[in-house]
């Protein structure tokens, strides 16, 4: 599903009106009627129900007035509260129509006493205050109304996007309406799926307002939302006449003293995701630990540093082991030891199969900024916000302030695909496209879940998917497995192993078998 910015949506509206000859007032009519249909779908017939509709001065307010007309005609009791009589163009047309029909249209009072009482007694409040064009912090009198609605409304439906949410970045512009339902028009907006905006949107429904499909298809929209329907097509199919070699051989280079668990989780997740064979290259003195923990995966003891991390002297042995492998994952629990970093520097330019870099592999790249330029194969980097900040030379909070921009910046800088982990994990490509993942839950904020993601994505790469498709499928499946685990065990006590156990269930749900 494609996600639009405010500017992209305005351009689609313009083309629809100017090039296809569909008047703006028709689009507004379709938007308002479509929202009413969604209200009926969610909460049932509106006859006899009380609605309070807050309308801003712009097109969002005009949509609200269309909504008021249709609700009135369907037997609802409707009170419209506007912030100004000075509504122009299509919104002004609908204000005149509402008044001509005798609807209860009044200007918002300064003390809000009447509005507060009406909101408390309303079955549903409609937020039609701001649309996608909000560019500054919410001020008075709007802030007071929004805070009053949040404190008193039983049910709230927002028009296009909750008022106060930045439609491009999901930021809250001082305050925002807490909606239970958001009916968004034409295309869904990015801010509905990025935190914290997504917390204010409630259930999101997309309303067709008659923007021509040809115009949408031709629009240079770079953002998308991952869906089960889309990613299910990436799942490698298993034929009856196949064997373990058919499904790839993943080599994982990972582990150091005190951090064996990261490599184990990655290997187990890779196997659960369908990789036919997994081999883990580990510091030689730790090999016994890995052999005890890993039953289905193979291990290779490699030369180690005095600190018991992987040593650069193991390069040739690693290159020998890579013969016949279909993908490489580097980093979980590896440490940033100086000699280990030297190993990574020597290995990267000699790799011949696609790869994933995570955890300490990323920290090594951040410490030695020339290393990313040595990668000559398709690759995906999977940082969390702290690692991303180190790679970009900024603070983690700056990454979180605009996650899409951070992911796209790194992807463009290194010329590789990037997975920025966190709530609403992002997948960015070097050509400027990115996807937002809707699966996952707060229970996944626990040690080892990133290592599980490493195993899942690299397993799909080993099975022959492109790094882009492997990243999209892997991120979605990772979150879905986390959701299934949370539904079984709850969020508070969730551990990474619970997610691994649910990966096959998630794949079965997506593939249907």
**How wide is the angle at C-alpha 509 spanned by C-alphas 507 and 510, nearest 5°?**
65
Whether the CB-CB separation of 5 and 133 falls below 8 Å is answered with: no
Q: Which residues contact 408 (CB under 8 A, 6 or more apart)?
A: 428, 432, 434
pLDDT in tens, 46-96: 999 999 999 999 999 999 999 999 999 999 999 999 999 889 899 999 999
Q: What is the DSSP letter of 160?
A: S
Number of H helices, E strands in the chain: 20, 18
The residues that bridge with 183 in the sheet, in sequence order, are 159, 205
- pLDDT, average across residues 357-372: 96
> Coil, helix or strand for 51?
strand
Evaluate if residue 513 carries a pLDDT over 70. no
- In 3D space, the residue among 358, 499, 378 whose CA is nearest the CA of residue 439 turns out to be 499
d(CA 41, CA 197): 23
User: Could you tell me the pTM of the whole model?
Assistant: 0.94
pLDDT of residue 141: 94
Evaluate if residue 379 carries a pLDDT over 80. yes
pLDDT in tens, 296-343: 999 999 999 999 999 999 999 999 999 999 999 999 999 999 999 999
The residue assigned the tokens 């196949």 is: 242
- Token pair, residue 81, equals 């509260």
Evaluate if residue 356 carries a pLDDT over 80. yes
pLDDT in tens, 413-423: 999 999 999 99
pLDDT in tens, 211-263: 999 999 999 999 999 999 999 999 999 999 999 999 999 999 999 999 999 99
pLDDT of residue 111: 86
Evaluate if residue 110 carries a pLDDT over 90. no
pLDDT in tens, 171-225: 999 999 999 999 999 999 999 999 999 999 999 999 999 999 999 999 999 999 9
pLDDT in tens, 455-496: 999 999 999 999 999 999 999 999 999 999 999 999 999 999
> What average pLDDT does the chain have?
96
pLDDT of residue 218: 96
- Token pair, residue 493, equals 């006590």
- Which domains does the chain show, CATH number per domain? 2-221 (3.40.50.10260), 229-235+242-511 (3.40.1190.20)
d(CA 222, CA 437): 15
- pLDDT, average across residues 493-502: 97
pLDDT in tens, 117-153: 999 999 999 999 999 989 899 999 999 999 999 999 9
pLDDT of residue 109: 87
d(CA 172, CA 196): 7
pLDDT of residue 232: 96
Q: HEC string of 85-110?
A: CCCCHHHHHHHHHHHHCCCEEEECCC
- Token pair, residue 408, equals 């796209």
């Amino acid at each position: 599903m494609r996600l639009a910015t405010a500017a992209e949506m305005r351009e689609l509206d313009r083309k629809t009106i100017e090039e296809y000859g569909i008047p703006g007032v028709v689009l507004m009519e379709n938007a308002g009627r479509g929202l009413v249909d969604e209200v009926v779908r969610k909460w049932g017939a509106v006859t006899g129900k009380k609605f309070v509709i807050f309308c801003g001065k712009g097109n969002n307010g005009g949509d609200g007035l269309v909504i008021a007309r249709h609700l009135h005609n369907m037997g609802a009791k409707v009170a419209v509260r506007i912030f100004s009589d000075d509504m122009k163009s299509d919104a002004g047309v609908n204000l005149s129509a509402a008044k001509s029909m005798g609807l209860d249209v009044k200007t918002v009072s300064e003390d809000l006493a009447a509005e507060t009482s009406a909101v408390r007694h309303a079955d549903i409040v409609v937020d039609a205050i701001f649309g996608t064009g909000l560019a500054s912090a919410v001020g008075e009198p709007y802030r007071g109304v929004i805070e009053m609605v949040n404190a008193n409304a039983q049910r709230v439906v927002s028009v296009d996007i909750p008022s106060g949410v930045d439609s491009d970045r999901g930021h809250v512009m001082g305050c925002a309406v807490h909606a239970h339902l958001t009916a968004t028009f034409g295309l869904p907006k990015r801010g509905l799926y990025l935190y914290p905006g997504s917390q204010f949107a409630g259930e999101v429904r997309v309303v067709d307002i008659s923007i021509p499909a040809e115009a949408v298809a031709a629009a240079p929209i770079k953002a998308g939302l991952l869906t089960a329907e889309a990613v299910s097509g990436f799942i490698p199919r298993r034929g009856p006449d196949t064997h373990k070699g058919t499904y790839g051989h993943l080599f994982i280079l990972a582990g150091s003293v005190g951090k064996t668990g990261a490599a184990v989780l990655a290997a187990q997740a890779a196997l659960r995701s369908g990789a036919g064979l997994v081999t883990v290259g580990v510091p030689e003195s730790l090999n016994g630990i890995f052999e005890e923990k890993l039953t289905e995966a193979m291990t290779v003891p490699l030369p180690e540093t005095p600190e018991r991390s992987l040593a650069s002297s193991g390069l040739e042995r690693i290159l020998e082991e890579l013969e016949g492998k279909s993908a490489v994952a580097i980093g979980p629990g590896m440490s940033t030891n100086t000699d280990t970093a030297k190993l990574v520097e020597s290995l990267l330019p000699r790799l011949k199969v696609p790869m994933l870099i995570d955890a300490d592999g990323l920290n090594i790249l951040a410490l030695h900024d020339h290393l990313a330029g040595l990668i000559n194969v398709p690759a995906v980097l999977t940082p969390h916000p702290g690692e991303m900040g180190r790679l970009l030379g900024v603070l983690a909070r700056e990454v979180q302030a605009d996650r899409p921009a951070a992911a796209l910046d790194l992807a463009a800088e290194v010329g590789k695909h990037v997975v920025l982990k966190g709530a609403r994990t992002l997948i960015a490509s070097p050509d400027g496209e990115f996807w937002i993942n809707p699966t996952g839950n707060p229970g996944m904020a626990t040690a080892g879940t990133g290592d599980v993601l490493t195993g899942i994505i690299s397993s799909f790469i080993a099975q022959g998917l492109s790094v882009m498709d492997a990243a999209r499928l892997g991120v979605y499946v990772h979150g879905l497995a986390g959701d299934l685990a949370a539904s079984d065990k709850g969020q508070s006590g969730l551990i990474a192993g619970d997610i691994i156990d649910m990966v096959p269930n998630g794949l079965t749900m997506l593939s249907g078998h």
